[in-house]
Structures are given as C-alpha cells and as structure tokens.
Structure 1
Amino acid sequence: MARKPKKHAYNKSVRTLIANDNPKSPISEQFRTIRTNLQFAQVDGELETMIITSASPSEGKSITAANVAVVYAQQGKKVLLVDADLRKPTVHYTFRTGNTHGLSNYLVGSQPLRELAHMSSVDKLDIMSSGPIPPNPSELLGSKKMIEFIEEAKKLYDLVIFDTPPVLAVADSQVLANHVDGVLLVVRSKQTEKEAAMKAKEQLVQTKANVLGAVLNDQEVKNSNYYYYYGQ
C-alpha cells in the first residue's frame, strides 16, 4: 500500500491541480476531453501505461501529466503518476511532497515499489517522485529493472502515467516509449515550432512508439470569454 506523503515547504511557485481544485472549470473539462480521446485511441485494448512528454522544455508536459492523472482518478481508476524525468523532476513540487526517495531508488534496486509510492490528496491517485538524480538517466530507464517496474506497477494500478523529459532534449523518452502502451505529446501554442513538433513525433515513431496524439497547450479559444491556458 502506498505511504502517506510527508509535508514539505518549497520556494517554488505553487502549481495548481486545476482538475482537482476547480473541476467545473472549462480547462478541467478540456482535461476530461483528453481522457475521453485517449480511451477512444486504444480501440484494441485497455490503456495501462503511457508517457506524457513534449518536444522541448517549458511546453506544459508535467502539469498536463498531473491533471490527466487527476481526471482518470476521478473516473474511478487507480492511478500511479511517476516522475520519470530523472534530470529536472517536478512532480514533488506539484504535489508538495519530498524527493529524497523515488523511481531512481527502485531502479538501482535499493527499495521496493510499495515503499516509494505515496498517496496524494486526490482519491485513487498515488505518486512516485524521481528520487535522487542519477548520473545515467537513459541507462536506468532502458534497463531490465525499468521493465520490471512497469510490469509490477501494472499489477497494482489500472493506469500508470510517466512524466518524461522533452524528446528533443535527451533520449530518455525514446528509450522508455516502446515499453509502454502509448505516448501523448504536449505542444505549446505560439512557442513550439512546427518543425520541432514533427521532429519529436518522427523520433518517437522511429523507436516504434505508439503516438496516441498531441495536446495543444495555451491555445486561445475563439468566440468565448475564456482562454484555454494552463502553463507548466
């Protein structure tokens, strides 16, 4: 069973889980639409594991991953959100917990999954932070121990979501992509260049990843009084 998280104080700006804090907002409805579209995307089977990533940094992939995890948990799924960004982790900031232990501890064989997963403030949603930043992230994510982690997590949870580094920055997402059911790519309106988005998709496809689709972040909704905006 996942442990209760310890409370920690951080100087980082507070990241709002809008799908949990304001579930009736238009933005929360957009996250539920993403959930519905992902469910339709897996016509041949249940979506059990997926990566949420971006082409480049600061495009909103981490906060998208957190809110997608929330809306799946709200649907009644038992969800584990894993910070697989072993270079610039953020999940512990979003959920205001510690990062002294996490995925990297499991991958070096020092602690079991059940001890590293923490209950979040959202019912049915557990989180696992990155743990200490290792010197060899790509090697750890591509190891047999990582495959063991995925298989073990699938037995304990209905859905496992991995927040991974940007595709064009490092190879980590590509290393992990062909071990999960699908990949969701986040791009930011007026920031992500079309060429970068296409190149990120091509690199994922080259690794035989199942690209489920893309999320356009920061897009103004015309003919309305609100903006579809939610920054990382």
Structure 2
Amino acid sequence: MRVLLVEDDPELGPVVAMGLRNEAYAVDHVRSRAEAEELLCAGEYDVACLDLGLPDGDGMELIGRLGEDDHLRRPRRILVLTARDAIDDRVAGLDAGADDYLVKPFSFQELAARLRALARRADHRSAVLNVGDLRLDPASHRVWRGGAELRLTAREFSMLRYFMHRPGLAVSAEDLLEHVWDAHADPFTASVRVILSRLRRKLGRPDPIATVTGVGYRLEEAP
C-alpha cells in the first residue's frame, strides 16, 4: 500500500515514515502543501496521512481541493494527523472529506491500526487475506502457505499483499512499482523482478504467481 505522509515536524515526520516503511508500506514523505500537491498531480496513493498546520497553507484547504481540482488525484483514503483536538475541528475535517482523524500526540501502534482499518474499508475485505492455500495477516505481518509459516522481508510481504488484494487479475511491473515502492525507487523494473524472484522461491511449488506474457503477473486463485 502506498502512503503519502504530509508532516512538517522535523522530528515526528521521519520517525513516522520509518515506522510505516518497517510495516511494509511504500511511503513518500513531504513537508509542505506544495510538495504534496506536486506528488498528487503525478501519482496515485492508497492513503494520505495529512497534517493540517503546514508551513505554506492549511491542510484542510488541500482536502477540499482534492474533490474539486481535476489535476489532483485524490487518495483512496485520507487520515488527518493534527494537534487540533476540538470537536469542531474534528467535525470540519471529516466533513471536508477526511476518512479518519487522529489527534497528536498519538501512539504509532494506533496509527498503524487505523491504516489497517482504512485499507479494509477501501478493499471491502476481511482483516486476514485468503487466496488459495495462502493466508496473510496484515496485523501480525505473518504469512502461511498451507500449514507452513513463511518468513518474508518487508518488501516481499508488501508485494504479496498487493497481489492478494487482486487475485486472478493481471498486475504489471509498473503497478508494483507504483504501490509497493515509494517515489525514490529505481524507475527500472529490475528491482521488481529481483523481489518477485525471491518471493516465488519462498512461496515454493507449485508457483502461485503466473507470468502473463506482455502484461505482467497474476496471482492464481487456485494454484
């Protein structure tokens, strides 16, 4: 899942970004409204974690623009991160288009739990993903094939999770770069092939990920 983190606090922002990457999210971290708008013009995000008090404008205004400006690609979900704790502020944020509202200071565990909840709402799926003999638990970061638990790296886990949200559908290398890697990823697809090769090796035989010639890859629903 690709996350846009808009947070100008020089201490909090990098810590949250690192924590989310450790949770296998692809994170683009920016510190201003202008930088956020630049990325929202160029790419798509599953979730935006948005501070309201930004150095070059109010994040609330950006939320409003997302529904009006055709140049900006609205993230599938928006989570407000702010020190504004008044009820009126919370109501205004949700009415403006935010899907959730988290007041600072917050625990990282709660932020991670709220992101998992937003992902479930976005995909209309249960917390635990099941495809064929594969089972993936996002909350505990555990994966099983049959009765055997697999040891995956954060990137391998994120890639498999992306496939398991789209069983039976063809996924291109560009799709994987867009949603599993962040904006600083190598633009070439060799990195995708390397991680995919490692993932396939750990998944074992029969290989549940088929190569779709000229298109990309597909996770088989009944390998």
TM-score (normalised: structure 2): 0.30
Query: Which protein is richer in strand relative to its size?
Result: 2
Query: Which structure is higher in RCO with an 8 Å CA cutoff and minimum separation 6?
Result: 1
TM-score (normalised: structure 1): 0.29
Tell which structure's C-alpha radius of gyration is larger: 2
